[in-house]
Amino acid sequence: MTNLEIMSETFPLQQAATGRFSFGAPRSFQITKDGAYVTFLRSDHSRDSVNSMWVYSLADNIEHKIFDSHLVQLGTTELPAEELARRERMRETGSGITTYASDESGKVIVFAFAGELVTLNIESGKFAELEVTKPIIDPQISPDGLHVAWSTGKELRTCTIAGRDERALAVSDDKNVTWGLADFVSAEEFGRMHGYWWSPDSQSLLVQRVDNSPVATWWISDPVNPEQAPRQQKYPATGKANAKLSLLHFQLSGGTPNPIWESNEYEYLINVRWQQARPALVTLSNRAQTKQDTYALLDDSLALVHSVTDEKFIEVIPGQPRWINESLITIVDNYQTDTRELQLDGISLMPIGMQVLNVVTSDHESITVQISTDGVARDIVRVKLDGDITYLTTGGVSGVSPAVETSLGALQIVMQSRLDNHERTYELTCAQKVIHAFDSQSESALVKPKVEFLKTGPNQVNTAVLFPSDHIMGSKKLPILARPYGGPHGARVIKGATNFNEDQWYADQGFAVVIADGRGTPARGPAWEKSIYQDFVGPILQDQVDSITGVAELFPDDVDPEQVAIMGWSFGGYLAGLAVLERPDVFHVAIAGAPVTEWLWYDTAYSERYLGHPDKSEGVYEHHSLMTRAANLSRPLMLVHGLIDDNVVIAHSLELSRALLAEAKDHTLLPLSGVTHMPHQPKIAENLMLMSVEFIKKNLKNS
């Protein structure tokens, strides 16, 4: 698009058309082991969702495209249902090459493209389409670069890098059994997208078998396409049966696999990590997620090396446990200091109050982690084994790649997203000095957020406030629009470059926008996160109320607490619905997008982690249901939901609508055809934002 065309469009359309400003930005960086190249994915421009493979050569100091997804014609554009489901779990909105894997050298790459299995040599630039059995799901290359493995769903198959000697390592004729794929719960709730792991010596694989036969069958239909059969989905609903999982050890040379583990005492396989010259680490959890144990694989037997228990629940923290030399790195909640801390063989390496969010990577001398000390920034620090800490980034939302040691020093990719300058940068550093800045074709937003960061209420809730760009302070009182997520894993008050773009647009429509990260949201310490155990209603809603009160006290001439709307999506949708049903004295209008209206209809791992098993939590689920509050509705409420949402299914909004109708409660229901959990179609996303503003203004005026 030309600059004139971009400037003439609305921000809602711009945001949707640019994939929330992600298209055109580089991603998925890997540095080759010799430090000569960096591979990454990038689409051609800010309105292009199709990712191609790029390589940066340090010797030539140039970025060049080595696999153009627009030009290469392979296979079909249709993806298997299992791959589509996998991308939905990843919230992947791009196409072309979405993920790739490399051998230990980093120079031989494998990926799925247009339904085909493709290998690529980054030095020669030559690629090959392997004629193998399909579908191709999650292909992975052996560390030595000689073999490729992939799942077809029913089978885990391997072949040589040249596509020869194809065979099935694991096979099932049972329609309910898959090999080498992550189960629904692991992908949706634990962030584990893989279902098999190569050994460091490339001679064997650990493979997950998933038996979904105990799991209830749900059907996801698209009513606007009545000629299409509903899609079957095995959905482990709260209190019901989970899939039966097992882990087996297969030798690449063939033979009978050795069983390693099957779900019984532990229902969840959290992760497998297999590092060079060390035993594989297998982390398991009981169903209540109050016990999480890590075992080392020794001669196909599991030996306990680390155990964590918690009377409430244990969160899954990415990147750990892991070996460093012969010691074990873990992240553990220390309640005495209220710190989620990095530990080396059980001894803390972190100062009090530095909350560790994940482990990025490690070497023989240090561990690189993402941390937060205030809840609003996400910094990267390198921690040496003696506890010495070096900040690699400060003040924004940051990430790094694993470091590669070279004769010049440690090479590493540092990614930063900063609100203070509205910029996102992607830099290759050497010994912490920038040697190359990667090009980004992502678009700048038409809005430039101006955010006030506050602490509100007795709990000192991190709160962000945005006023219209042309608002003169003290000139008039504005209606308040609360836009929280408010639940576990969902901090919104973070100083990232694009985090508040949408909020500023809503503010520019004539609102004082308030976002509050109350109790239960991450990066504020174990006590903060776990204060919402078995109670999403009391502390979570009270912190939202206190944020409105606090903002009204701080800006008495600029906000009108008698005109308050609230809108949110997913957990935020639940919170918006709860707000008008439970506290209509504070919240006068609500828009609930894809709300969980009945926690018994959400998945086992999430609901039971925070609310407990329904058989052991008398009255908890009834107390949290929005259906039981239908008779309370006295304020305007709009429910918005994608008809083919397979995460929070449409039944949530339909059943609440039915309950409201039974109580003769006026409300609005907006079903979105062809939409999953989030609307990605540009015109739908644009018009939904415009209609939301119209709904809020109309009903606040009449309230």
563-572 per-position pLDDT tens digit:
999 999 999 9
631-657 mean pLDDT: 97
Any idea which fold 452-702 has?
Rossmann fold (3.40.50)
Encode pLDDT of 409-432 as tens digits: 899 999 999 999 999 999 999 988
Q: Answer yes or no: is pLDDT of 82 > 90.
A: no
| DSSP code, position 674 | T
- Any idea how long the chain is? 703
pLDDT of residue 703: 62
Burial-class residue 616 by CB neighbours within 10 Å (0-12, 13-18, 19+): exposed
- Number of other residues whose CB lies within 10 A of the CB of residue 158: 19
Cβ atoms 41, 54 nearer than 8 A: yes
Encode pLDDT of 207-218 as tens digits: 999 999 999 999
- Share of residues in the chain with pLDDT > 90 (%): 90
Q: Tell me the whole-structure pTM to 2 decimals.
A: 0.94
pLDDT class for 2, splitting at 50, 70, 90? very low
Encode pLDDT of 488-542 as tens digits: 999 999 999 999 999 999 999 999 999 999 999 999 999 999 999 999 999 999 9
Tokens 């309105």 correspond to 47
Parallel, antiparallel or unpaired: strands 177-179 and 204-211: antiparallel
Residue 665: CB partners within 8 Å, gap ≥ 6?
630, 631, 633
Per mean pLDDT, which range of 90-99, 417-426, 456-465, 564-573 is the poorest?
Answer: 90-99
Average pLDDT over all residues of the chain: 94
- Distance, CA of 570 to CA of 573 (rounded, Å): 5
- Distance, CA of 212 to CA of 182 (rounded, Å): 12
From residue 231, how far is each of 8, 92, 213, 218, 645 by CA, in Å?
A: 40, 20, 16, 8, 11
pLDDT class for 78, splitting at 50, 70, 90? low
| DSSP code, position 615 | G
Cβ atoms 674, 643 nearer than 8 A: yes
pLDDT class for 74, splitting at 50, 70, 90? confident
pLDDT of residue 4: 39
- Distance, CA of 144 to CA of 604 (rounded, Å): 39
465 DSSP β-pair partners? 452, 514
- Distance, CA of 108 to CA of 158 (rounded, Å): 16
